[in-house]
Amino acid sequence: MNKMLKIGATTILTLGGAAHAQSSVTLYGLIDAGLTYTNSQISGTGGGHSKWEMTSGAVQYSRWGLRGAEDLGGGVKAIFTLESGFNLNTGQYSANMRLFNRLAYVGLSSRDYGALTLGRQTDSMVDFVAPLSLTGTEFGGTHFAHPLDNDNLNDSFQINNAVKYLSPNIAGFRFGGLYGFSNQAGEFANNRAYSFGISYVAGAWNFGAGYLALSSSARTPAQLNTNGAVTDTTGASLQGALTPTGVPLGVLASSQKTFGAGVNYTFGPAVAGFVYSHTKLSQFFQTGLSGTFQNFEGNIRYALTPAVELSGAYTYSRAGGNGGGGVPHWNQVSAMADYRFSRRTDVYIQGAWQRSSPSGTSPLGVAWINGVTAPASTTNQLEAAVGLKHRF
């Protein structure tokens, strides 16, 4: 009898251990802290003033999260991710009233058929185009973004109520799509989103393209459907810009349509790339005003040694529309040097210079580097940062 009990207990423990081994939950995160100098920012006292400040997320947004998977057999897994962005300097969430303000989804993943997930997620511009741009990577990040992050390549906002599919790698191809519901009765298209993209890797070449569409019926920020697909942003430059509440530009237009494509080529220790994106806003604030942004980015990064990485980008952006304000355009040059102490810890120094060249009386007539607290008082703005990043 005792022998049978021992055998039974051993069997239960063995099965329990096997089941435990097939499931995993991982705590992960990234902390980015540093000091930033800006030569000119508009302040409450008027005019432009230089500014020294301690910053969080000068390159990559500080965040922590939980990632889990359970093996269901046959190459299928149940998966989830919960991720929260925060300001290291204050300990506050980067978006009010959201515990997991960056990502929150659950779904199924198959090695043969791809992944289907539901929740708060990134769009296809972030998934397929951003990795080819320095703003969407650890080699440039926040300050390298295109004006107002108008194409969301720096992941300034995520999509709520989203159903998303990502394919497996099929002979170098990957594709995916997302739909974010408005969650409003009788207003199916009021603050909804949809997005799709594709990538292809062949030897030294890496291609990607994506599309994002937002729609809304809001006439003012107060009328925004706050249960819809897009309702807030972590991007500092959008806070207090054309949308004082911090919601992305496209949510307050009857529609936003963004398209982007890019290519990277690897040769030896270097990677060179080019990215183009186009954003069209229709009937901004339902006033009949429309506008466009076009962005052209050339970038390069070079591994000087296994520990030292150099990167740089030049971006030309132009805006246009029927608002009567002319056609402003921007030139921005950005550079960064990064030194890795280990796989998890590195220090960086970076800088960006932007010049805005407005035409007419455009309200976008001053320089404003993405991630800087306030615009310059003139058409030029210079930013420089030194910081430390740690991953866990």
Contacts of 275-281 spanning 24+ positions with Cβ under 8 A: 275/129, 275/132, 275/133, 275/153, 275/299, 277/125, 277/129, 277/146, 277/150, 277/151, 277/153, 278/151, 279/150, 279/151, 279/250, 280/255, 280/256, 281/249, 281/250, 281/253, 281/255, 281/256, 281/321
pLDDT of residue 388: 97
Grade residue 92 by pLDDT with cuts at 50, 70 and 90.
confident
pLDDT of residue 221: 65
- For residue 245, pLDDT over 50 is answered with no
Contacts of 338-342 spanning 24+ positions with Cβ under 8 A: 338/138, 338/139, 338/308, 338/309, 338/310, 338/311, 339/307, 339/308, 340/306, 340/307, 340/308, 340/309, 341/307
CA distance 147 to 294: 10
For residue 182, give every residue at least 6 positions away whose Cβ sits within 8 Å of its Cβ, in sequence order, or none: 161, 188, 189, 190, 191, 192, 225, 227, 228, 229
Percent of the chain with pLDDT over 90: 66
- For residue 150, pLDDT over 70 is answered with yes
- For residue 166, pLDDT over 80 is answered with yes
- For residue 14, pLDDT over 50 is answered with no
pLDDT of residue 78: 98
The whole-chain average pLDDT of the chain stands at 86
In this predicted model, what pLDDT tens digit does every residue of 100-141 receive, in sequence order?
Answer: 999 999 999 999 999 999 999 999 999 999 999 999 899 999
CA distance 21 to 24: 7
- For residue 6, pLDDT over 50 is answered with no
For residue 58, which of 245, 192, 264, 237 has the smallest C-alpha distance?
237
pLDDT of residue 362: 56
pLDDT of residue 136: 86
Percent of the chain with pLDDT over 70: 82
Grade residue 248 by pLDDT with cuts at 50, 70 and 90.
low
pLDDT of residue 288: 56
CA distance 355 to 277: 19
Query: Is the domain defined by 25-391 classed in CATH 2.40.160.10?
Result: yes
pLDDT of residue 365: 74
pLDDT of residue 163: 98
In this predicted model, what pLDDT tens digit does every residue of 326-375 receive, in sequence order?
Answer: 678 999 999 999 999 999 999 999 999 999 987 554 556 789 999 998 88
pLDDT of residue 79: 98
DSSP 146: P
pLDDT mean over 374-386: 93
User: pTM (2 decimals)?
Assistant: 0.87
Q: Which residues pair with 178 in a beta bridge?
A: 164, 195
- For residue 389, pLDDT over 80 is answered with yes
In this predicted model, what pLDDT tens digit does every residue of 279-323 receive, in sequence order?
Answer: 998 876 555 567 889 999 999 999 999 999 999 999 999 988 755
pLDDT of residue 21: 47
For residue 159, which of 79, 101, 236 has the smallest C-alpha distance?
101
pLDDT mean over 251-278: 92
The residue ranges of every structural domain in the chain are: 25-391
CA distance 162 to 104: 10
Q: Which residues pair with 115 in a beta bridge?
A: 109, 166
In this predicted model, what pLDDT tens digit does every residue of 47-61 receive, in sequence order?
Answer: 788 999 999 999 999
pLDDT mean over 73-95: 92
For residue 352, which of 296, 314, 308, 316 has the smallest C-alpha distance?
314
CA distance 278 to 292: 7
Grade residue 187 by pLDDT with cuts at 50, 70 and 90.
confident
- For residue 13, pLDDT over 60 is answered with no
For residue 212, which of 124, 128, 145, 103 has the smallest C-alpha distance?
124
| φ/ψ of residue 197, rounded to 5 | -165, 170
Highest mean pLDDT among 46-55, 146-155, 251-260, 278-287 belongs to 146-155
pLDDT of residue 359: 58
pLDDT of residue 327: 73
pLDDT mean over 169-197: 94
